[in-house]
């Protein structure tokens, strides 16, 4: 791999590269606080080079290009560019993130993602470096070793996921999955699909599907805990942050699982009911720089303070659990109160509904009455005991099957079609919640910067569901063929969404920015065409890396 070269009179590393001539909008990275290339960044460069080359003699032949890729100047530049992805999917807790004490593999994953948005490397060069980084991360990760050898019985009793380093290892492995899926060649994408069940196994083995019940113990993430009397004086910000980091990694893995279902016809790896976590916290709480700021955003210091500090969230002390909200949406008698969920949570939920839709359509096409995951089953707390649940009544007779079902429908068509009706009703409930909440959380015509981020733009997936219901999709369609077809459907959905949002004065959202050529003719993908870069002039600001070097 040769680093991109252009005519130039400049000397030094990456001779000929002109960073100032990027086609990408230049975000304001003043809050990143990354020092100019100096000895500390050079030390990080040496640390990463040692991580890559010392235990991988087979990379010695490529050491020169790897050294250029991981120069101090490029580490700074690529980490700055990572903000473009962070804005779409806020997985890193920037207020507490420090590059000096972060797992090297996670830094490499972030650097690779940043390189996607850089003018210093071509997409081909980034894909080549992705192969190197993926190999390095997997061979240096203890959690990967544990899970990859699980089938042989090795490490059978070894627990993972309790340390900061182990969680960062999982995050690094996940980031490479994202790159291979959305920035890869067809072969790299196939490799990612083949490897993905291992990532899900990692999440389960690390206990990410449920909140931690040992230190650090976050009260506001626990199931069946009444938090109404919880006060700011008892708030443990560090514990809250650590649990929220775990939760967000799990939800990001879940979203990738759902994307593989929606776009590639891959059967879901997660069960709808196994994720017993509160949905993602409000942006203002996640981005808070201090314990006091986070407590304010969560409403621990009163509703007036939280309304001022957190206008775009639902300001709940504890978010509802995903499995409970899903069961409520699928139930014929219950609905969510206005303001129950924030936009990120709605993005997660609409993807969960798409997984249910895929399952229902597959069952109908197979004419099988075997319902694989009943969201009305289980022996948990009754839905009505949640403070955000209200009675809605059966909507147009299309609710979930009741316990006293007459059974007049045939077992084959009855159950499968009833599940499909329940899913479509759930989508309508979801859309109602979206329409009601976004006018409050992001008022039309407000002076706020443009709403930025894929994770805050779920409405397009409601309209995608409409497109999918209007067609009889082949659930056996090969993955890449399904991908190009669904991308085309998403473009139709964008038109419907545009009409719907414009009549209410809403912003179109980040999904409307997807490049028209993404996934059309060339199945070697460019992730920057899908998750578009931040435009600092009009988009809501994105937090960047802070260092204390």
Cα 436 to Cα 444: distance, rounded to the nearest angstrom: 12
Token match 């719907």: residue? 500
Contacts of 444 (CB under 8 A, 6+ apart): 504, 505, 506
State how far the Cα of 290 lies from the Cα of 6, in Å rounded to an integer. 44
63, part of any domain: yes
Query: Is 482 among the domain residues?
Result: no
For residue 469, how many other CB atoms are within 10 A of its CB? 15
Buried-state track 102-126, b at ≥16 Cβ within 10 A, e below 16? bbbbbbbbbbbbbbbbbbbbebebb
Which of 195, 68, 169, 77 has its CA nearest to residue 128?
68
What SS3 string covers 301-364?
CCHHHHHHHCCCCCCCCCCCEHHHHHHHHHCCCEEECCCCCCHHHHHHHHHHHHHHHHHHHHHH
| 416 assigned to some structural domain | no
| Cα dihedral across residues 463, 428, 509, 496: positive or negative | positive
Token readout for 84 is: 């473009």
Q: Give domain status of residue 79, yes or no.
A: yes
Tokens 């890729």, residue? 69
Instruction: Indicate whether 68 belongs to any domain.
Output: yes
Question: What distance, in Å, lies between the first and last C-alpha atoms of the chain?
Answer: 31
Q: Which two tokens stand for residue 30?
A: 């003043």
pLDDT of the chain, 549 residues: tens digit per residue: 455 543 333 333 333 333 333 444 444 444 444 445 458 889 999 999 999 998 788 888 899 999 999 999 999 999 999 999 999 999 999 999 999 999 999 999 999 999 999 999 999 999 999 999 999 999 999 999 999 887 676 766 788 888 999 999 999 999 999 999 999 999 999 999 999 999 999 999 999 999 998 887 899 999 888 888 888 999 999 999 999 999 999 999 999 999 999 999 999 999 988 999 999 999 999 999 999 999 999 999 999 999 999 999 999 999 999 999 999 999 988 999 999 999 999 999 999 999 999 999 888 888 654 444 445 444 456 666 666 567 665 444 333 333 333 333 334 456 778 889 999 999 999 999 999 999 888 887 766 677 888 999 999 999 999 999 988 777 789 999 999 999 999 988 988 888 888 777 777 788 889 999 999 888 999 999 999 998 877 677 777 775 446
What is the count of structural domains for the chain? 1
Predicted confidence at residue 365, as pLDDT, reads 83
| CA-CA-CA-CA torsion sign (259, 260, 265, 266) | negative
Asked if residue 251 belongs to a domain, the reply is no
Going from the C-alpha of 197 to that of each of 148, 168, 228, 254, 268, the distances in angstroms are: 11, 18, 39, 11, 10
Judge whether 452 lies within some domain: no
| Cβ atoms 136, 76 nearer than 8 A | no
Residue 316 lies in a domain: no
Query: Residue 44: which residues within 8 A CB-CB, separation 6 or more?
Result: 72, 75, 99, 100, 107
Whole domain around residue 107: which residue ranges? 1-153
Q: Are 59 and 50 a contacting pair, CB within 8 Å?
A: no
pLDDT of residue 386: 64
| The two structure tokens encoding residue 218 | 């976050």
Which class for 445: exposed (0-12), middle (13-18), buried (19 or more C-beta within 10 A)? exposed
pLDDT, residue 396, reads 41
């Amino acid at each position: 791999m040769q680093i991109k070269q252009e005519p130039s009179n400049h000397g030094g590393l990456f001779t000929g590269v002109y960073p100032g001539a990027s086609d990408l909008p230049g975000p304001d990275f003043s809050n990143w606080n990354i020092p100019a290339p100096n000895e500390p960044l050079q030390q990080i460069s040496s640390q990463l080079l040692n991580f890559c080359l010392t235990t991988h003699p087979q990379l010695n032949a490529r050491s020169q290009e790897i050294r250029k890729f991981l120069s101090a100047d490029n580490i700074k530049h690529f980490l700055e560019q990572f903000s473009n992805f962070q804005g779409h999917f806020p997985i890193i807790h920037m207020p507490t993130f420090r590059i000096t004490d972060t797992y090297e593999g996670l830094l490499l994953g972030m650097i690779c993602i940043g390189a996607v948005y850089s003018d210093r490397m071509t997409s081909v060069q980034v894909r080549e470096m992705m192969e190197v980084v993926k190999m390095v991360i997997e061979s240096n990760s203890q959690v990967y070793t544990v899970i990859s050898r699980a089938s042989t019985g090795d490490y059978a009793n070894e627990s993972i996921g309790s340390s900061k380093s182990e969680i960062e290892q999982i995050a690094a492995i996940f980031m490479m999955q994202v790159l291979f899926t959305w920035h890869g060649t067809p072969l790299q994408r196939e490799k990612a699909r083949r490897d993905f069940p291992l990532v899900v196994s990692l999440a389960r083995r690390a206990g990410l599907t449920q909140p931690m019940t040992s230190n650090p113990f976050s009260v506001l993430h626990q199931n069946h805990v009444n938090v109404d009397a919880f006060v700011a004086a008892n708030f443990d910000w560090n514990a809250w942050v650590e649990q929220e980091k775990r939760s967000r990694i799990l939800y990001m893995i879940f979203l990738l699982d759902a994307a593989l279902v929606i776009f590639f016809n891959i059967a879901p790896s997660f069960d709808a009911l196994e994720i017993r976590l509160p949905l993602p916290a409000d942006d203002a709480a996640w981005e808070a720089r201090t314990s006091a700021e986070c407590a304010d955003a969560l409403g621990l210091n009163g509703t007036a303070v939280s309304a001022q500090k957190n206008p775009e969230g639902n300001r709940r002390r504890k978010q509802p659990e995903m499995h409970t909200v899903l069961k409520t949406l699928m139930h014929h008698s219950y609905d969510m109160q206005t303001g129950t969920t924030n936009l990120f949570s709605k993005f997660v939920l609409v993807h969960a509904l798409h997984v249910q839709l895929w399952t229902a359509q597959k069952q109908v096409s197979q004419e099988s009455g075997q319902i694989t995951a009943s969201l009305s089953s289980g022996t948990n707390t009754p839905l009505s005991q949640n403070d955000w649940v209200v009675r809605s009544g059966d909507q147009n007779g299309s609710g979930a099957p009741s316990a006293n079902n007459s059974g007049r429908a045939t077992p084959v068509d009855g159950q499968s079609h009833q599940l499909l009706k329940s899913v479509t009703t759930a989508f309508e409930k979801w859309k109602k919640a979206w329409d009601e909440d976004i006018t409050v959380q992001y008022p039309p015509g407000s002076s706020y910067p443009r709403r930025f981020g894929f994770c805050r733009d779920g409405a397009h997936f409601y309209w995608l569901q409409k497109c999918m219901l209007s067609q009889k999709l082949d659930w056996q369609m090969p993955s890449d063929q399904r991908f190009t077809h669904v991308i085309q459907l998403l473009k139709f959905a964008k038109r419907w969404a545009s009409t719907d949002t414009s009549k209410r004065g809403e912003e179109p959202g980040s999904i409307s920015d997807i490049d028209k050529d993404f996934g059309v003719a060339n199945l070697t993908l460019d992730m920057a065409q899908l998750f578009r870069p931040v435009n600092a002039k009009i988009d809501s600001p994105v937090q960047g890396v802070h260092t204390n070097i």
